[in-house]
Amino acid sequence: MIYEHLLAPLDGFLATVEAFRASGGRGANVTLPFKLEACRYAHQLTERARQAGAVNTLTFDGERIFGDNTDGVGLCRDIVDNLKVPIAGAHILLIGAGGAARGVLGPLLSAGAHLVAIANRTTARADELAKHFSALGPVSVICPGEMPAQRFDILINATSASIAGELPPVPAACIHPGALAYDMMYGKGETPFMALAASAGARTADGLGMLVEQAAEAFFVWRGVRPATDAVVAQMRNA
């Protein structure tokens, strides 16, 4: 098996994937900004991809194209298995209402979260997301400017603020000692969100473990084998 990266032009996702298929490609991971296009491209979607409205894993079987989304299960496995923080029964604050939040909200609810509260600068988008997933479990919407000093067990930054070195819309009053502050972004050092959370006494984690776990799930989709991830996460941390 050969696994390589392909750089598609912003207006050339379809042509790039079609050329890959024609060359014998059997599957592909898809990253930003093409996950919505990948969802439209697939002939058949898994339930988790349908819920997310986005695809990050494509499988090619003859003329059929299957779309899946492994982001949410990757996040949940990193939190529960690697960080040893239970999601079942947890009060969770999900910051952001874009594609990243949409991809993980369903799995968080399915994992038994007691409540997922969505905070987004545009409350209309958060309301839309809450309605879409309300059948899976309790979801609420919090206006960042009126966010109460509520105790959350897990706070997840699903915005792109960290890429620009900015803070997401979360008041420090919502971060309590002992909580897990999880930034889905990753890079060198702490993100601003992680630094804020650490100063409030919270435990912090970036999204590197999620990256590894969603890749392991994609490998399982393609090959029927789920790789062990501990050594991979450790190797990437050390690098």
Query: CATH number of the domain that 143 lies in?
Result: 3.40.50.720
On the question of pLDDT at 160 being above 70, the answer is yes
Residue 117: predicted pLDDT? 93
pLDDT at 138 over 70: yes
Q: Around Cβ 128, how many Cβ atoms within 10 Å?
A: 16
Q: Are residues 48 and 142 in the same domain?
A: no
Whether the model clears a pTM of 0.75, i.e. scores above it, the answer is yes
Contact between 146 and 122 (Cβ < 8 Å): no
Q: Can you give the residue range of the structural domain that contains 63?
A: 13-69
**Per-residue pLDDT at 143:** 79
pLDDT grade for 116, boundaries at 50, 70 and 90: very high
Q: Residue 156: which residues within 8 A CB-CB, separation 6 or more?
A: 75, 92, 93, 94, 95, 104, 182, 183, 184
d(C-alpha 15, C-alpha 230), whole Å: 36
- Based on the fold, state whether residues 57 and 131 are members of the same structural domain: no
User: Within this chain, do residues 58 and 88 fall inside the same structural domain, yes or no?
Assistant: no
pLDDT band (50, 70, 90) for residue 47: very high
Other residues' Cβ atoms within 10 Å of the Cβ of residue 176 = 17
Determine the average pLDDT of the residues in 39-56.
94
CATH code, domain with 29 = 3.40.50.10860
Does one domain contain both 92 and 189?
yes
Using the 3D structure, point to which of 69, 89, 104 is the last residue of a domain.
69
Give the Cα separation of 61 and 14 in Å (integer).
17
Give tens-digit pLDDT for 192-208.
999 999 999 999 999 99
C-alpha count within 13 angstroms, C-beta hemisphere, residue 22: 6
Do 54 and 90 lie in one domain? The reply is no
> Is residue 227 in a domain?
no
Do residue 149 and residue 183 come from a single domain? Answer: yes
230 part of a folded domain: no
Identify whether 232 is part of a domain: no
- Taking only the tens place, the pLDDT of each residue in 54-77 is 999 999 998 999 999 999 999 999
Both 65 and 76 in one domain: the answer is no
- Number of domain units in the chain: 2
Q: Are residues 48 and 136 in the same domain?
A: no
Above 80 in pLDDT, residue 11?
yes
60/146 same-domain check: no
Q: Say if 223 falls within a structural domain.
A: no
Q: Is residue 109 pLDDT above 90, yes or no?
A: yes
Distance separating alpha carbons of residues 76 and 85, to the nearest angstrom: 10
Does one domain contain both 29 and 144?
A: no
Asked whether residue 111 is domain-assigned, the answer is yes
Element (H, E) at 55: none
Helix (H, G, I), strand (E, B) or coil at 135: helix
Q: What is the SS3 assignment for 146-179?
A: HCCCCCCCEEEECCCHHHHCCCCCCCHHHCCCCC
Helices (H), 24-170: 35-41, 47-52, 71-77, 99-110, 123-133
Q: Does some domain include residue 218? A: no
pLDDT at 148: 62
pLDDT band at 150 (very low <50, low <70, confident <90, very high): confident
Tell me which residues are annotated as active site.
35
Quote the pLDDT of residue 170.
81
Is 176 within a domain? yes
Tell me, what's the pLDDT at 149? 63
* pLDDT per position as a tens digit, 215-237: 999 999 999 999 999 999 999 88
**Within this chain, do residues 122 and 95 fall inside the same structural domain, yes or no?**
yes
Q: What does the alpha-carbon distance between residue 131 and residue 161 come to, in Å, rounded to a whole number?
A: 25
Domain shared by 127 and 183, yes or no: yes
pLDDT computed for residue 61 by the predictor: 93
- Residue 96 above 70 pLDDT? yes
Q: Name the band, by pLDDT with cuts 50, 70 and 90, for residue 210.
A: very high
The answer to whether residue 224 is domain-embedded is no
